[in-house]
């Protein structure tokens, strides 16, 4: 006999396909995804045109994610108060304007940095906290799978954007490549308009329900700080390696197009990993999943150091496993450990922490290259940090028993 509960849960993904489409495409064309996934393709063209060092160019991501760390907690509070739909639809056009401003960059690093900061401030509603909040409120039985599908959008963007951006740069220049990113950002607007419920009662776009007032009691929880530390270590390593991959491979003798092809492997691996992780999160203990992925990525760094260019495909695939992992894990773990009533605020504070950490990864890797003319130390450091993050994840307690229905 068929289990009635199973029948009730089986169509959850199909029943909410519009919301799932909106969050998947929205996360793919968010400020973080567009600027981070394509960043490596701009490093050498900007250096050649303006004479900036790779460390100086990497500071753009440092400032961007540093400011994002500051705006994430208030953004989470706004999401809890006003819902996802309003903030997403308001942010997308402003994000496109910021990307157009990047295409007009003069020879001023300050202008370049300001545009990156502007993108995450005015485009803040496109941050992962917005889309993951919609998923966590909509899905319960297949929450992990839904998050995996959503974050696979960022993986596919990481696969396609280096190739598209490199082609545009080689064809008409880097300025037109930033203009292309602006068009991609705008492409998410009609899908979000149609995908998110318009009525206040629509789960994915509705404000949070429950007791009024804001409580910061979660800050006294060791679990909160354990998740934050583990994700910060992982993001520092994975973002530093991702952004450095294209210039690292070009330095070994590859053309820009070939290096972009390897970067596409990162994105495809990330997309596949997000789907697999989402499937496993509904069935296995999340820290075990995180530990396996991080140890594989650390092994990729060691192989590349040992074998060089022949190991580049392996490095790309294994970096892809860990790229963005902390974002979907935090989305799932916050809901499991802390519930949904203050999801936006808790996720926002935690996201600010590992965003700040991710900000330093590319800049530190760039300055290491400037000082040593090699990325070897960055690879060693990335492997060590991933191993440390593994042990921290394994310190998490078992999930608390709570009602998993959407709030």
Mapped onto helix, strand or coil, the DSSP state of residue 41 is helix
Mean pLDDT of 325-354: 81
Query: What is the structure's pLDDT at 208?
Result: 52
Contact 3, 114 (CB under 8 A): no
Mean pLDDT of 333-360: 81
Mean pLDDT of 233-255: 85
| pLDDT(224) > 60 | yes
Of 108-117, 158-167, 204-213, where does mean pLDDT reach its minimum?
Answer: 204-213
Identify the band that residue 199 occupies on the pLDDT scale cut at 50, 70 and 90.
Answer: low
| pLDDT(11) > 80 | no
Query: What is the structure's pLDDT at 292?
Result: 92
- H/E stretch holding 54: helix 54-82
Of all residues in the chain, what percent carry a pLDDT higher than 90? 31
Contact 245, 106 (CB under 8 A): no
Identify the band that residue 403 occupies on the pLDDT scale cut at 50, 70 and 90.
Answer: very low
Using alpha carbons only, give the angle 40, 189, 37 rounded to the nearest 5 degrees: 10
| 399 found inside a domain | no
Identify the band that residue 380 occupies on the pLDDT scale cut at 50, 70 and 90.
Answer: very high
Question: 69: how many CB neighbours lie within 10 A of its CB?
Answer: 21
| pLDDT(215) > 90 | no
| 90 found inside a domain | yes
| 11 found inside a domain | no
pTM above 0.75, yes or no: no
| 326 found inside a domain | yes
Identify the band that residue 406 occupies on the pLDDT scale cut at 50, 70 and 90.
Answer: very low
Mean pLDDT of 357-366: 81
Indicate which CATH number applies to the domain containing 311. 1.20.1250.20
Identify the band that residue 211 occupies on the pLDDT scale cut at 50, 70 and 90.
Answer: very low
| pLDDT(213) > 70 | no
| pLDDT(98) > 50 | yes
| pLDDT(384) > 80 | yes
| pLDDT(97) > 90 | yes
| pLDDT(185) > 90 | yes
| pLDDT(364) > 50 | yes
| Cα distances (Å, whole numbers) of residue 375 to 96, 264, 350 | 33, 20, 29
| pLDDT(368) > 50 | yes
| 116 found inside a domain | yes
Query: What is the structure's pLDDT at 206?
Result: 52
Q: Residue 149 belongs to what domain range? A: 18-194+218-393
Query: What is the structure's pLDDT at 402?
Result: 56
Identify the band that residue 147 occupies on the pLDDT scale cut at 50, 70 and 90.
Answer: confident
Query: What is the structure's pLDDT at 162?
Result: 87
Contact 41, 256 (CB under 8 A): yes
| Cα distances (Å, whole numbers) of residue 367 to 54, 216, 256 | 7, 37, 21
| 209 found inside a domain | no
| 7 found inside a domain | no
Mean pLDDT of 222-249: 88
Of 242-251, 277-286, 323-332, where does mean pLDDT reach its minimum?
Answer: 323-332
| Domain count for the chain | 1
Identify the band that residue 205 occupies on the pLDDT scale cut at 50, 70 and 90.
Answer: low
Question: 372: how many CB neighbours lie within 10 A of its CB?
Answer: 11
Query: What is the structure's pLDDT at 353?
Result: 79
CB-neighbour burial class of residue 91 (10 A; exposed 0-12, middle 13-18, buried 19+):
buried
Mean pLDDT of 163-180: 93
Q: What is the mean pLDDT of the chain?
A: 84
Contact 308, 284 (CB under 8 A): no
Identify the band that residue 1 occupies on the pLDDT scale cut at 50, 70 and 90.
Answer: very low
| 1 found inside a domain | no
Query: What is the structure's pLDDT at 308?
Result: 82
Mean pLDDT of 24-52: 90
């Amino acid at each position: 006999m068929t289990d009635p509960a199973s029948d009730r849960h089986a169509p959850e993904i199909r029943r909410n396909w519009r919301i799932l489409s909106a969050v998947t495409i929205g996360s793919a064309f968010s400020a973080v995804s567009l600027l981070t996934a394509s960043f490596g393709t701009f490093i050498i063209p900007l250096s050649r045109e303006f004479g900036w060092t790779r460390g100086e160019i990497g500071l753009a991501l440092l400032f961007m994610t540093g400011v994002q760390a500051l705006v994430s907690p208030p953004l989470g509070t706004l999401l809890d108060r006003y819902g996802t739909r309003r903030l997403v639809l308001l942010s997308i056009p402003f994000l496109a304007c910021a990307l157009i401003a990047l295409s007009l960059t003069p020879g001023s690093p300050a202008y370049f940095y300001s545009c990156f900061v502007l993108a995450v401030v005015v485009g803040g509603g496109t941050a992962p906290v917005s889309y993951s909040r919609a998923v966590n409120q909509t899905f319960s039985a297949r929450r992990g799978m839904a998050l995996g599908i959503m974050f696979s959008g960022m993986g596919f963007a990481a696969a396609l954007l280096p190739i598209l951006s490199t082609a545009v740069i080689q064809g008409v220049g880097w300025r037109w490549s930033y203009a292309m990113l602006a068009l991609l950002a705008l492409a998410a607007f009609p899908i979000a308009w149609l995908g998110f419920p318009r009525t206040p009662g629509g789960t994915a776009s509705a404000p949070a329900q429950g007791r009024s007032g804001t409580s910061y009691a979660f800050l006294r929880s060791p679990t909160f700080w354990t998740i934050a530390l583990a994700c910060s270590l992982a993001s520092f390593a994975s973002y530093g390696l991702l952004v450095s991959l294209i210039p690292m491979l070009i330095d070994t003798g590859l053309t820009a197009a070939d290096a972009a092809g390897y970067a596409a492997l990162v994105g495809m691996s990330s997309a596949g990993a997000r789907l697999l992780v989402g499937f496993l999160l509904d069935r296995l203990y999340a820290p075990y999943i995180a530990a396996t992925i991080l140890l594989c990525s650390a092994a990729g760094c060691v192989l590349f150091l040992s074998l060089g260019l022949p190991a580049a495909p392996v490095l790309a695939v294994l970096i892809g496993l860990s790229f963005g992992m902390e974002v979907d894990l935090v989305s799932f773990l916050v809901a499991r450990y802390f519930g949904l009533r203050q999801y936006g605020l808790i996720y926002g504070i935690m996201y600010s922490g590992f965003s700040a950490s991710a900000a330093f990864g590319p800049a530190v890797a760039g300055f290491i290259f400037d000082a040593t003319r090699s990325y070897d130390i960055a690879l060693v450091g990335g492997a060590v940090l991933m191993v440390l993050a593994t042990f921290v994840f394994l310190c998490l307690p078992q999930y608390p028993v709570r009602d998993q229905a959407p709030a």
